[in-house]
Structure 1
Amino acid sequence: MIVRTLLAALALSLSGAMASAQSIDLSPEQPGRPRAERNEAAIRLLSPNAKLAKEGVFTVAIAAGRLPFSAYATDTKTVIGSDPDIARLVADSLGLTLDIIPVAWADWPLGLASGKYDAVISNVTVTEQRKEKFDFSTYRKDELGFYAKADSTLSIKEPKDVAGLRVIVGASTNQEQILLRWNQQNVAQGLKPVDIQYYDDDVVRGLAIQSGRADAYLGPNALSAFEAAKDGKTKLVGTFSGGWPLVAEIAVTTRKGAGLAEAITQAINTQIQNGNYAKVLARWNLVPEAIERSQTNPPGLPKT
């Protein structure tokens, strides 16, 4: 039933995904943001010992960076995007007022561990190392994507498909490490090496693709998909898990043993069943990264 409901909701929402990215609502009011009803089943799963940073408030840290995940609205202070929308659904479900705290990405672990906020919803991947200090409630797939010029005939489905290509990737990123492993594997098999390119500026990166100086860009699928839907200059030519060859998922992150994770997982699963979850993903062109069911503390990426 859960799978059928999700797929039906995604099918209805998919047609609106492109339009959503074409005409982005950057207002602080966000009138199209789905809201949830109070979820008694989720509330009952809150631990009696659970202590919130503020009474009656769900305080969530988000690193406002780029849409579709999160960015500032036109008032330059309200954080909008898919992660704030998920935070809103969880807060509504738990009968709490939502308070979003903008943070730098590097600061969230200490702030969460110290109880400064109740959760982090900011594209955090589940890893075994993080599970030692935090609990997780999954809400989206962690996927990487290869993007090429809109008229490209490239199709990248496995490591050998990148042999001899000129590929842009971010330095010191997970996707760079995966690309380097693919390249090493290909060279060992006698295939042509990848010409790996690095650009710090997104505009320069885009010009490299459009001018033909590079064949493809490898990065977080959600960011590139949103950009492609918005301007139509690039397209997806290959996608795979951010934990390749393992599956990785993004999750709401809470303090270890805080007594919040099971309630949050239940809240998310209810929103998957009633279609609100699909509406959030459709608003931000994230439909392909939908999960069928939220899990509490699933297997994470292994320690390196």
Structure 2
Amino acid sequence: MTHSLAMPRRVALGFVALVALAPSLAFAQQQFDLTSVQKAQPRAELVPEAVKLLGKDVKLAKPGTFTIATTGQRLPFGINATDNQRIIVGSEPDIGRLIADGLGLELEVVQVAWADWPLGVTSGKYDAAISNVTVTEQRKERFDFSTYRKDQLGFYVGSKSAIKEIAKPEDVAGLKVIVGSGTNQEQILLRWIKANEAKGLKTTEVQYFDDDVVLYLALESGRADAYFGPNGTLGFKSAQTGTTRLVGSFSGGWPEIAEIAVTTKKGAGLAEAITAVLNAQIKNGNYQKSLARWGLAPEAIEVSRTNPPGLPRS
């Protein structure tokens, strides 16, 4: 994923109450507040065991502050607030807020280009990157990880579609499926098609669109049967409009399991403390509320892990 250059911005955060989503395959239509007010944002109590894991010798980018880097350029992960471009709202700042609260720290969010977070984290300019970063074995050589979300792909159909579920590769046989060119999901879909054809099943018609408006018209009109793409962004749109629904979800590393994680400098002494905070929030329900309000409930994990197995080197 690439992002255009964005100037670093200091960000204050909060939340306005939204309709919660159940962690199911269907999204209910939902209104999202993108203003800077955000008064009802889930907040965390201090997590003493996490503070102990942090230790007194850990060096933060700024004393008393948890400084995170995020791109802030794509919903539901983060975007500049509609009434204040200096403030980022979204699911990634929410996770950062829960961690900062749990560690008894203030939160500072810095908006960066995607290409800039690795150097910023390793140099100590930022304590962590919370920017939809997938755990990989290659990245584990330089970074520590605390998982907080599944890296999921989703199959979405029009809300009136007769398709109830796409649960396995054979389910796409005979369908017309939209996918992004050159993406990981395209490679997965093409492997499925090849395997289905080898079994004598009907082929799948693959469709590509450069224009999202035309894409969704094709989906809603039935000219395409399903759209296979990143669950986070497609789920957010589904929750906003109610015109599509989720019928199947697969790991972004299929057949390998992929997870998104808070990314810290390797050996910085932050990961175990962050993991402890996240697990405390999973236990008390704050974590689930944070994801649900951005349409990300299907990507919730049951437990946060420090440095789990990552996607293998390609």
TM-score, structure 2 normalization? 0.87
Q: Contact between 1:21 and 1:285, CA under 8 Å: does it hold in 2?
A: no
Aligned to 2:34: 26
CA-based RMSD of the aligned residues comes to 2.1
Q: How many Å apart are 1:20 and its aligned residue? A: 8.9
Matched, 1:113 2:122: yes
Aligned to 1:37: 45
Taking structure 1 as reference, are residues 13 and 25 closer, same or farther at Cα in structure 2, changes over 3 Å only? closer
Once the two structures are overlaid, the 10-residue window that deviates more, 109-118 or 248-257, is 109-118
User: What whole-Å deviation, never above 9, does each CA across 1:189-215 have from its counterpart, x for those lacking one?
Assistant: 233332222223322221221233321
Aligned to 2:268: 258
- Return the match for 1:287 from 297, 302, 307: 297
Matched, 1:86 2:95: yes
Alpha-carbon separation, structure 1, partners of 2:193 and 2:27: 37
Q: How many Å apart are 1:116 and its aligned residue? A: 1.8
Counterpart residue identity of residue 255, structure 1? K
Q: Secondary structure at the match of 2:116?
A: helix
Aligned to 2:169: 159
Aligned to 1:51: 59
Alpha-carbon separation, structure 1, partners of 2:194 and 2:22: 40
Counterpart residue identity of residue 99, structure 1? E
- Return the match for 2:280 from 260, 267, 270: 270
Counterpart residue identity of residue 54, structure 1? K
Aligned to 2:140: 131
Alpha-carbon separation, structure 1, partners of 2:133 and 2:97: 17
Q: Contact between 1:20 and 1:283, CA under 8 Å: does it hold in 2?
A: no
Aligned to 2:73: 65
Matched, 1:205 2:215: yes
Alpha-carbon separation, structure 2, partners of 1:142 and 1:29: 29
Higher helix proportion, which one? 1
Once the two structures are overlaid, the 10-residue window that deviates more, 196-205 or 132-141, is 196-205
Q: Contact between 2:29 and 2:242, CA under 8 Å: does it hold in 1?
A: no
- Return the match for 1:245 from 243, 255, 274: 255
Where structure 2 has 5 or more consecutive residues not aligned to the other structure, the ranges are 1-18
Where structure 1 has 5 or more consecutive residues not aligned to the other structure, the ranges are 1-11
Q: Secondary structure at the match of 1:76?
A: strand
Q: Contact between 2:54 and 2:273, CA under 8 Å: does it hold in 1?
A: yes
Q: How many Å apart are 1:118 and its aligned residue? A: 0.8
TM-score, structure 1 normalization? 0.90
Matched residue pairs, number? 293
Aligned to 1:230: 240
Aligned to 1:6: none
The percentage of counterpart residues that share the same residue type is 62
